[in-house]
Amino acid sequence: MPTDLKPGQSVRVTISRTITRAAARKTIERLFMKDKAVRSPLDARSRNFKELPKRRGGVIWTKRPNKLHPELAKGASAVVRTTPQSIRDLASVASFVTIAPQETHAQKPARKAAAATSNS
């Protein structure tokens, strides 16, 4: 499936089996973080976090929010917009995920219009 993907498409990536390689886990985590629904807890935490700069050894240091890692259990899914790099990433983790094309809002009315013309 990753070979027929084109940049700019939206695809649903679903974890189909347990991830056993650390590199594959990092790649899938990076891909999942592109989905707004998966990234929203990190964004909310960053929005509420107040930076408290303090001086340490003559240099100003700022504490930043810790990164939250998404749950990558079997069956978890995310919608990812494909880029040339993400297509290569999906190909490298293809043994752990299933990839399905995601319908966009522009495709749905066209399909309804085609069904209406075929019925009349």
The CA-based angle 72-105-115, given to 5 degrees, is 120
For 16-29, the three-class secondary structure string (H helix, E strand, C coil) is CCCCCCHHHHHHHH
Query: pLDDT-derived band of residue 63, with 50, 70 and 90 as boundaries?
Result: confident
If phi over 0 gives left and psi between -120 and 50 gives alpha, with beta otherwise, what is residue 56? beta
Query: How far is Cα 36 from Cα 17, in angstroms, rounded to an integer?
Result: 23
Amino acid residing at 78: A
Query: How far is Cα 25 from Cα 74, in angstroms, rounded to an integer?
Result: 12
What local confidence, expressed as pLDDT, does residue 104 receive? 62
The CA-based angle 104-85-28, given to 5 degrees, is 80
Condensed to tens digits (0 to 9), the pLDDT of residues 87-112 reads: 999 999 999 999 999 876 655 555 55
Query: pLDDT-derived band of residue 64, with 50, 70 and 90 as boundaries?
Result: confident
Q: Are 92 and 27 in contact (CB under 8 A)?
A: yes
Structure tokens at 72: 């990558």
Query: pLDDT-derived band of residue 49, with 50, 70 and 90 as boundaries?
Result: confident
Q: Are 95 and 21 in contact (CB under 8 A)?
A: no
The secondary structure element, H or E, covering residue 119 is helix 107-119
What local confidence, expressed as pLDDT, does residue 113 receive? 58
Query: pLDDT-derived band of residue 4, with 50, 70 and 90 as boundaries?
Result: confident
What local confidence, expressed as pLDDT, does residue 33 receive? 94
What percent of the chain lies above the pLDDT cut of 70? 83
What value does the mean pLDDT of the chain take? 86
Higher per-residue confidence, 92 vs 117:
92
Q: Mean pLDDT, to the nearest integer, of 47-70?
A: 87
